[in-house]
Amino acid sequence: MRIDVVTIFPGYLAPLDEALVGRARRAGLLDVRVHDLRGWASGVHKAVDDSPYGGGPGMLMTAPVWGAALDEVTASGDGVPRLLVPTPAGAPLTQRRAAGWASEPWLVLACGRYEGIDARVLADAGRRMPVEEVSLGDYVLAGGEVAALVVVEAVSRLVPGVLGNPASAELDSFAEGTGGLLEAPAYTRPEQWRGLDVPDVLRGGNHAVVDRWRRDRSLERTAAVRPDLLDALVARHGADAFD
Ligand code: ADE
């Protein structure tokens, strides 16, 4: 899978050399390319922003710079990529959306800064490729770079071959395997630590009992911190979701 990231702060994406994503890149499973938007800016100042029409605080990134960058990057491979644009005004990132993107051959991430990107950039790109705006949550970051890191990591670990043990993705919180609930708490050796014991059922070796225990803890935890996920489960499956 190929992923291009366009940003005015390429250094922000340095963590993509590390850990799971870094290993997957070196193994040839992921082709990640980070581009400096300023390379497409002109003039002595290489400006990428200007004040918004209609007034208001802050600056907007301009259409000509982004247009030139996206034209070149999206023409540099086979086929047409999917353009993802991190913004607090986007649809929330979910495991389901990440899983959908993981089966795409090519993603391009456009990182906005300041008050965002001139709206015509996405309108224009949408004439040639699928475009999605994506939000990490209901808070405002200083720019799209951290969100791009999150999207690349969430997607990469679902690309076949990237995780050593693919079963671990299936059992994650939010994945289909857990019915969209949060994962149960987990324990490893030692059996006793600072007066705290590993729950007996997990040491008993009865898989059916362990599964039931995990399901109960998962329901308990989800009800406590994410009741909205339980509501969604009931909406999808009715009351037999808890059988
Ligand atoms: N850029 C600024 N805030 C953001 C958010 N919450 N999600 C994605 N991109 C952003």
pLDDT one-digit tens code per residue, 114-145: 799 999 999 999 999 999 999 999 999 999 99
Give the Å distances, CA to CA, from 68 to 62, 72, 77, 206: 11, 6, 16, 61
- Say whether pLDDT at 106 is over 70: yes
Q: Where are the domains of the chain?
A: 2-156, 172-242
Q: What is d(CA 64, CA 118) in angstroms, rounded to the nearest whole number?
A: 9
Residue nearest ligand 1's atom 5 by CA: 88
Query: In the prediction, which pLDDT does 243 show?
Result: 67
Q: Is 146 annotated as a binding residue?
A: no
Q: What is d(CA 170, CA 155) in angstroms, rounded to the nearest whole number?
A: 14
Q: Is 141 annotated as a binding residue?
A: yes
pLDDT one-digit tens code per residue, 176-187: 667 789 999 999
Of residues 81, 113, 118, 157, which has the active-site annotation?
157
115 labelled catalytic: yes
- Say whether pLDDT at 239 is over 80: no
What percentage of the chain reaches a pLDDT higher than 90? Answer: 87
Q: Which of 134, 135, 146 to mutate to test the pocket of ligand 1 (most atoms within 8 A of CB)?
A: 135
pLDDT one-digit tens code per residue, 7-56: 999 999 999 999 999 999 999 999 999 999 999 999 999 999 999 999 99
Query: In the prediction, which pLDDT does 238 show?
Result: 83
Q: What is the ipTM for the molecules in this complex?
A: 0.98
Average pLDDT of the chain to the nearest whole number: 95
157 labelled catalytic: yes
Say if ligand 1 is within 6 A of residue 139 CB.
yes
Q: What is d(CA 150, CA 95) in angstroms, rounded to the nearest whole number?
A: 12
Say if ligand 1 is within 6 A of residue 87 CB.
yes
- pLDDT band with cut points at 50, 70 and 90 for residue 171: low
pTM for the predicted model, two decimal places = 0.94
Please identify, in words, the CATH class of the domain defined by 2-156.
Answer: alpha beta
Q: Is 12 annotated as a binding residue?
A: no
Ligand 1: nearest atom to the Cα of 138: 6
Say if ligand 1 is within 6 A of residue 115 CB.
no
Both tokens of 89, joined, read: 């005004």
Distance 90 CA to ligand 1 centre (A): 8
CATH number of 172-242: 1.10.1270.20
Q: Report, as an integer, the average pLDDT of 168-178.
A: 70
Q: Is 138 annotated as a binding residue?
A: yes
Closest CA to 156 of 56, 48, 29: 29
Closest CA to 65 of 128, 113, 133, 2: 113
b/e sequence 39-70, b meaning 16+ C-beta within 10 Å: ebbeeeeeebbeeeeeeeeebbbbbebbbebb
Query: In the prediction, which pLDDT does 27 show?
Result: 98
Q: What is d(CA 128, CA 130) in angstroms, rounded to the nearest whole number?
A: 7
pLDDT one-digit tens code per residue, 138-154: 999 999 999 999 999 99
88 labelled catalytic: yes
Q: Which of 7, 136, 146, 150 to mutate to test the pocket of ligand 1 (most atoms within 8 A of CB)?
A: 136
26 labelled catalytic: no
- pLDDT band with cut points at 50, 70 and 90 for residue 108: very high
